[in-house]
Structure 1
């Protein structure tokens, strides 16, 4: 009996779930509901004849069959994207400078670049990883073309999603029990820094900034060493740290509005148009 054909939608669903780590995170990437995505995975497994994913309550794991299929699946999608580009218009070329803070780059940039690279392999991307407070004026001055940042005011750029801020500490050192509270903070002017200090002021909690760093790596080093606690975006919190809450004596924190912005100087660039569209398609969430 001949093997069943693998439909492209099933393959795309499979790769999206593997890359996103869950059906919930993958669904908006392929513009499907979770139930529709689950059905596509089932059809793929029926066609393959064996499970490709072990789906636990909190994580997904590739089966040996799924691991073998994944490389073929990526190549299928890449060849399909190349065929689409060849048939439906001229190749987009050029260079794009893209600004993203370290935490958003690590958490969100991979699916954008993977999909964009498959469609527009001739475009060169210069990645600038700096804090949002540094990237925003660079967009205004036209020094970079496009940025994914925590926006500083409503209606600036296109809203993609809300990213919660969280207090984090090392469970081995319990720095949150000290008085005054030792804080690791981003650079002066950082929106995360302002939010943290305003929350502590509203609680009338005594604190002391004992460590300053503009980098995510620097913040993590301060926390992991037990020197201080810090405020991070939830997406950048590594597994070994503890998210601190009201039961630890810490006040609630707001969420950051993550938005895509492009410079006026980039108008008319097909490469920037294409990358901007890919960012919106991949990262923008409804609601």
Structure 2
């Protein structure tokens, strides 16, 4: 008989490509997860994962076993829910500077962690999300920390920012750098402008957007340069900071605020946070 927790650990490690992130999702330790998977490999007589200092990846046998492992975990969840599962609701607000094209995969991880959960996701600026969270309308908030307004919460990771532009973006020497920004209240806009002005670099705002998606569209169209994190930048764009002689942008801490007490919802949120951390290493 296979150890079901070991199978779950294998599936999470394969999805997150990290023993550490899998351990976070399972509320366990890296050594415990590694030991479970080692015992699973011994029971199967197969090596499931290839371990390197920076990356964990599936072996050929691991890739062959993964689909069956998922089915086994799903069958277990189905058996647990044979008498009906009480649906729970989890509302999470996320800064639009934090989550990009990987959102479907992150949501999939949350759905796998707790299929009886009804998810409500709101995407907005960090200050908007914090205001909604503080009003009690959100269970959790994942935002960028720009100041000391709130020093509580769990720091998930540091998010780097760069000067993103289309590969064919042209800048004429002696002219102000063309910027795509959000409105004056955007803290990333304030960070970008302050960084340029501190370095004595002239800039000109040529596009004002109503969200990261619109800024990304202007960047991809070659209209301007924008201060963005790599994860939310449009595919194909590149960091032009060094080529244009622009100063390095500071990073920002990604912070999780939560008021959850329900263990099921906390487990799903823990899985989401672990999956988000895993994307930072890619």
Q: TM-score, normalised by structure 2?
A: 0.73
Cα shift at 1:115: 4.6
After superposition, the C-alpha distances for 1:168-226 in whole angstroms (9 at most, x for unaligned) are: 12222244867200111123222211111111111010001111223232122111111
The alpha-carbon distance between structure 1 residues 111 and 244, as it changes in their structure 2 partners (threshold 3 A), is same
Match for residue 203 of structure 1?
199
Q: Is residue 98–residue 127 contact of structure 1 (8 Å, CA) maintained in 2?
A: yes
User: Residue 171 of structure 1 aligns with which residue?
Assistant: 167
Contact 1:23–1:38, Cα closer than 8 Å, also in 2 = no
Is 1:123 aligned to 2:117, yes or no? yes
1:152-167 equivalence runs, <5 A: 152=146, 153-167=149-163
Q: Name the SS of the counterpart of 1:278 in structure 2.
A: helix
Do 2:20 and 2:29's aligned partners in 1 also have CA atoms closer than 8 Å? no
Q: Which runs of 5+ in 1 are unaligned?
A: none
Which residue in the other structure is 1:142 paired with?
136
1:187 to 183, 196, 210: 183
- Specify the SS of the correspondent of 1:100: strand
What is residue 283 of structure 1 aligned with on the other side? Answer: 273
Structure 1 residues 240 and 26, CA gap change in structure 2 (3 angstroms): farther
Equivalent in 211, 222, 228 of residue 226 of structure 1? 222
Aligned residues: 272
Consecutive unaligned residues of structure 2, counting only runs of 5 or more, are 278-282
Following TM superposition, by how much is the alpha carbon of 1:69 offset from its aligned partner in structure 2, in angstroms? 3.2
Ranked by relative contact order (alpha carbons within 8 Å, sequence separation 6 or more), the top structure is 2
Given the alignment, which residue of 11, 17, 23 partners 1:15? Answer: 11
Deviates more, 1:170-179 or 1:24-33: 24-33
Contact 1:97 1:145 in 2 (8 A): yes
Q: Distance in 2 between matches of 1:111 and 1:131?
A: 21
| Structure 2 CA distance for aligned equivalents of residues 45 and 206 of structure 1 | 63
Q: 1:197 and 1:92, CA in 2 relative to 1: closer, same or farther beyond 3 A?
A: farther
In 2: Cα distance, 1:278 partner to 1:188 partner: 35
Cα distance in 1 for residues equivalent to 2:109 and 2:264: 11
2:87 is the counterpart of 1:97 = no
Q: CA deviation at 1:245?
A: 3.7
Deviation at 1:113, TM superposition (A): 3.8
TM-score, structure 1 length as denominator?
0.72
Shift of 1:94: 3.1
Asked if 1:47 corresponds to 2:49, the answer is no
Is the 1:165–1:192 Cα contact (8 Å) retained in structure 2?
Answer: no
Cα-Cα RMSD: 4.1
> What is the DSSP-based 3-state SS (H/G/I as helix, E as strand, rest coil) of the residue aligned with 1:97?
strand
Q: Distance in 2 between matches of 1:58 and 1:177?
A: 41
Structure 1 pair 11–186 and aligned structure 2 pair: CA distance change class (3 A): farther
Secondary structure (helix, strand or coil) at the match of 1:73 reads helix
